[in-house]
Structure 1
Amino acid sequence: MIYEKNPIMNPSTILLSIIVSVASFFLFRNRVLAFLDEKNLSVQNYSGRKVRTGGGLLLLFPVLLAAVPSLFVTRQADVVFYILMILCLAFCGLLDDVLGDSTSRGLSGHIGKFLKGGLSTGWIKAFTGGLIGILLAWYRYRNFPLFLLDSLSFALCVNLVNLFDLRPGRAIKGLLFALVPVMLFAGFREVWSVLPVLVLLMFYLEGEMEEAYMLGDTGANLLGGILGFYEVIGLPVKGKIILTIFLVALHVLAEFQSFSKWIDAVPILRAIDRLGRKKGSER
C-alpha cells in the first residue's frame, strides 16, 4: 500500500467532530451507566470501593460518531480503518471486563498461560491488538523494517494504557503525557483522530475521578488503540523509533515492578497522579 500525504483537515470539520463527541457523550451517558448497573459490571477497585467497570463504553459511541464527519474531508479508508479498529479493540476489552480474571498478569503471564495450553481474555486482547497493528502497518506499508516498527509500536501503545489503568484518572493522564509530544513531533498532522477524543476526555474524567466508573479494559483498549493509530499514521520514522524504544523500556520495567511503585517514589509524579482524586483515596 503506497503512503500518501493526508490533506490538511478543515478546522470546521474538527469543530463539528468535537461537538458531536461531546453531545453524544451526554446523550449516551445515563443510558450506558444504567446498562452497566443492569448487567452488574462492577469490580472492587484499589481502595476497596465497588466501582462500575467497562466505563470505556461511555467513550465508544462518542468516538465512533465523532469520526463520521472526517469521512468527507480525509482519506475514507483511513477513517473506516479507524472505526473498525475502535470497534474491535473495545469489544475485546469488554470481553475482558466481563469474563476476565486476575490469574494471569502482564504480557508474560498471558503468553505463559497460552504456552501451557491455556487461554485468557488478556491473551485474546493482546492477540487482537497485535493483529490490528500488523494490518495497520500493512495498510501504511512503505518498506519491511517500517512495517515491523509500526506493528510493534501499535501493539505496545494499546497495552501501555492498560498498564496505567490502575488508579482513577491515571491512564488518561498517561495518555495525555504521551499524546502531547507525539502530536508535536507529528506536526499536528492527522489530528482528526485525536482532538475530539482529548476534548471528550475532559467531560469523562470527572466521573472517573469521583470513582463513579472506571475505564476498564474496554476504555483502556480503545484509548491505547487511538494512541497507536495516531503515532503510526502521523509520526515520522525518527519519532517512531524513539517512541518504540521508550515503549519497550516501559514494558520491560512493568514486568519487574508495578508502575504504582515508580510513581509513588517520585514526588512530582505522585502529585500529578493523585490530582483530582476523591479525599481518602490518596494512595
Structure 2
Amino acid sequence: MGTFLRTVAATLASAAATATTRALLDTAPPGGPDRWTRTNHRGEPISLLEGPAVASGLVTGALVAGPDARTRTAVALATAGGGAFGLVDDLAEDTSTRTKGIKGHVGALLQGRVTTGGLKVLGIGTTSLAAAFVGTRRTGSTFGYLTDVAVNGSIVALGANLFNLLDLRPGRALKAGVALAVPLAVTSVGATSGAVLGAAAAAAPGDLGERDMLGDGGANALGALVGTQIAFGAPRAVRLLALAGILGLNVASEKVSFSKVIDGSPVLRRVDQWGRRPAASAQAPAPAGLDDKSAPGQDAPA
C-alpha cells in the first residue's frame, strides 16, 4: 500500500476510533461522570473523556499508517505510553499540592516524594526511550546508534510534554498537531500524519465547543506521536535542531506563559481563537482546572 493510501486509511481509522471510543465512554464513564469532569477557564464544567478517545484514535491510526512492523510498534508504544501516563496524572493528581513543571516534579522525586506528575515524567521518559530503541535503525557505529536513540527518545518525551503545555485553551493543541503533521507528511513515516488529522477532525467539535478537553492523556499522546514523526522520519541534522527547539520551549515554559505570548501576537491570537466561542461570553475567572494549568507567569507542564 502506497503512502497516500496509508495516509487516507490512517485518517479514516483514527477518526472512527476516536469517535467510537468517545461515544462508548460517554455511555458509561469508568468511575462515573464526576471523575472525568473538570472546570475550564470560563468556570464551566468540561469532560476529560476526549483524552483517552484521542489517544485510542492516534494509536489505531499509527498501527494502520506505519510503513513496517518495527515503525508501527515504536509509534504505537510511544503514543500509548504518553496517553496512559498522562491519564494517570489526570485522574490521580493530588490537587492540594499543585506541584507543577518538570523541575517541580523532578525536585519532588529527589526529595523522595513521588507525585503523579513525577510518575508521568518517568513513565513517558521510559516508553519514549523504549520506542526509540525499537524504531531507530542502526546505520553506523554503536556510539552513533546509541546517540540517535537518545536524541529520538528525547524528542518524543519532550514533544509529549510540549503539547501538554499547549492544552490550555480550546483547540490549541489539536491545531498545533495538525500544523506540524501536514509538513511532516513528506517524511518516510508521513502516513502517520493521517492519524493526527483523523483524531483532530473527530475531536475538534467537542474541544472547540468547550464540552471536551484533551487533558494530559490526550495532549501527551498527541505530542508523543508528532515527536515520533520527527524522530523516525527526519535526518540527523534536522532532528538535532528539532531537539534544541523543543528543549528550548520546554525550558522557556518555566518562566514564560505561552498564552501571554499568543495573546500578544495578532496572527497567533487569530489562529488560536479560530473556531472557539467568543471571548466576550466568558464568565468570571474560575479556580485553575486542567484546562487552565498556568501558574502565575508560567505554563506548567505535567
Which TM-score tier does this pair reach, normalised by the shorter chain?
Answer: 0.7 to 0.9
Alignment of 1:147-186 (within 5 A): 147-181=149-183, 183=184
* 2:227 paired with 1:228: yes
* Aligned CA distance change for structure 1 residues 193 and 10 (closer, same or farther; 3 Å): closer
Query: Number of residues paired by the alignment?
Result: 271
Taking the aligned partners of 1:68 and 1:151, their CA distance within structure 2 comes to 19
Instruction: Note the C-alpha offset of 1:48.
Output: 1.0
Alignment of 1:167-206 (within 5 A): 167-181=169-183, 183=184, 187-206=186-205
Alignment of 1:49-198 (within 5 A): 49-70=44-65, 74-102=67-95, 103-139=98-134, 140=136, 142=138, 143=144, 144-181=146-183, 183=184, 187-198=186-197
List gaps (5 residues or longer) in structure 1. 1-7
> 2:299 aligns to what?
none
Contact kept, 8 Å, 1:54 with 1:219, in 2: the verdict is no
Deviations 1:104-161 (A, max 9, x none): 1111111111112211111111112211232233331541332332222221101000
TM-score between the two structures when normalised by the length of structure 1:
0.86
Taking the aligned partners of 2:71 and 2:86, their CA distance within structure 1 comes to 22
Taking the aligned partners of 1:273 and 1:204, their CA distance within structure 2 comes to 16
Contact kept, 8 Å, 1:36 with 1:52, in 2: the verdict is no
Taking the aligned partners of 1:27 and 1:154, their CA distance within structure 2 comes to 27
User: Which of 42, 45, 53 is residue 40 of structure 2 equivalent to?
Assistant: 45
Taking the aligned partners of 2:17 and 2:182, their CA distance within structure 1 comes to 25
Taking the aligned partners of 1:278 and 1:128, their CA distance within structure 2 comes to 35
Instruction: Note the C-alpha offset of 1:62.
Output: 2.7
* Aligned CA distance change for structure 1 residues 191 and 100 (closer, same or farther; 3 Å): same
What one-letter code is carried by the residue in structure 1 that aligns with 2:147?
P
Instruction: Note the C-alpha offset of 1:56.
Output: 1.4
- Could you tell which deviates more after superposition, 157-166 or 255-264? 255-264
- Could you tell which deviates more after superposition, 36-45 or 266-275? 36-45
List gaps (5 residues or longer) in structure 2. 139-143, 286-302
1:56 counterpart SS class: helix
> 1:242 aligns to what?
241
What one-letter code is carried by the residue in structure 1 that aligns with 2:43?
G
Contact kept, 8 Å, 2:182 with 2:193, in 1: the verdict is no
* Aligned CA distance change for structure 1 residues 68 and 129 (closer, same or farther; 3 Å): closer
Instruction: Note the C-alpha offset of 1:91.
Output: 1.5
* 2:19 paired with 1:29: no
User: Which of 9, 13, 28 is residue 6 of structure 2 equivalent to?
Assistant: 13
Taking the aligned partners of 1:269 and 1:47, their CA distance within structure 2 comes to 21
Taking the aligned partners of 1:214 and 1:124, their CA distance within structure 2 comes to 22
Contact kept, 8 Å, 1:21 with 1:196, in 2: the verdict is yes
Instruction: Note the C-alpha offset of 1:36.
Output: 3.7
Deviations 1:18-64 (A, max 9, x none): 22223333333322223348342111111211111241122233333
Contact kept, 8 Å, 1:153 with 1:247, in 2: the verdict is yes
1:194 counterpart SS class: helix
What one-letter code is carried by the residue in structure 1 that aligns with 2:244?
I
* Aligned CA distance change for structure 1 residues 167 and 197 (closer, same or farther; 3 Å): same
Contact kept, 8 Å, 2:152 with 2:232, in 1: the verdict is no
Taking only aligned residues, the RMSD between alpha carbons, in angstroms, comes to 2.3
* Aligned CA distance change for structure 1 residues 62 and 138 (closer, same or farther; 3 Å): closer
Q: Which has the higher contact order (CA 8 A, sep 6+)?
A: 2
1:51 counterpart SS class: strand
